[in-house]
Amino acid sequence: MSPSLLPEGFARGHQILLLAGSVSRIEDTRTLLAREEAILSLVEAVLASGARIAVPADPDLALLVATAALSYSALPSAEPGLVAEPAGISIYETQGENTGLRRMLVPLGRLNALRYYDEAGESVRLDQYEMLHAVDDAPRETWIPQRLTNGLLERVNPLAAVVVAPDAAIVEEIGLVSRRNFPFAVLPGTGDDLIGQRYSEGNAFNRLAGFIRDEPTTPFPWPALLQELVTGWLSGNRQDQRM
């Protein structure tokens, strides 16, 4: 469907930061499915609008969002000198080089699904790495998530942030986000809701949590909710930004 209801190109250059707690702390299928659906719906809402998603180098999250971004990637150009714009996923290392993750993402990089940055903020060409066929020889830290830092927040300068599946391991990261002057949403029903409730200013948690109270037995309409949230942020609607 085109053109967009919002002015063409309005979202270009805007980045939404995505953080996610670990799958390993989730103990029921419903929450697990909600976590996954929320992440996919956010990727679809943001990339369909033309904006970008930034994630720290958390291997599980990075692989999922980069795979989802394939739906929005352009075919690499066959003509020399012509470079297709990569889909709107940017993955940032914050705690040193993760060679295993870089090698794992090579095939997605070749399909223009993502951009990858090292800790210093330099763009990394993934096609310089050999594709990972097995992780036997990869260091153990390959699958340990790298964390959000103040330095990354400075570099990314996101328009807004979304936290999926809040848990104790990412409380500090949520704290970093909440102290910044941009809107954010800790998504309820995807992790430990007690953590989401701790933050009020700038957090869309309470409005979204209304759905749990109103419809306690049904899954959240994540595609609609996140498109509403993202559109509000991108169009500069302060009402939607600060709920």
Interacting residue ranges for another protein, rule: CB under 8 A: 1, 4-5, 22-24, 26-30, 32-33, 36-37, 40-41, 43-49, 59-60, 63-64, 67-68, 70-75, 104, 107-108, 110-111, 131-136, 143, 215, 217-225, 227-228, 231
User: Whole-angstrom Cα distance, residue 39 to residue 133?
Assistant: 26
* Nearer residue to another protein within complex by CB, 80 or 216: 216
* Nearer residue to another protein within complex by CB, 68 or 163: 68
Alpha carbon 17 to its chain centroid, in Å, reads: 6
* Nearer residue to another protein within complex by CB, 67 or 94: 67
Torsion of CA 134, 136, 138, 144, to 10 degrees: 100
- Report the first-to-last Cα separation within the chain, whole angstroms: 30
Cβ of residue 44: shortest distance to another protein, in angstroms? 3
Q: Provide the token pair at 133.
A: 């066929």
Cβ of residue 208: shortest distance to another protein, in angstroms? 12
CA atoms within 13 Å, Cβ hemisphere of 144: 11
CB 11 within 8 A of CB 50: yes
Cβ of residue 158: shortest distance to another protein, in angstroms? 19
* Nearer residue to another protein within complex by CB, 1 or 82: 1
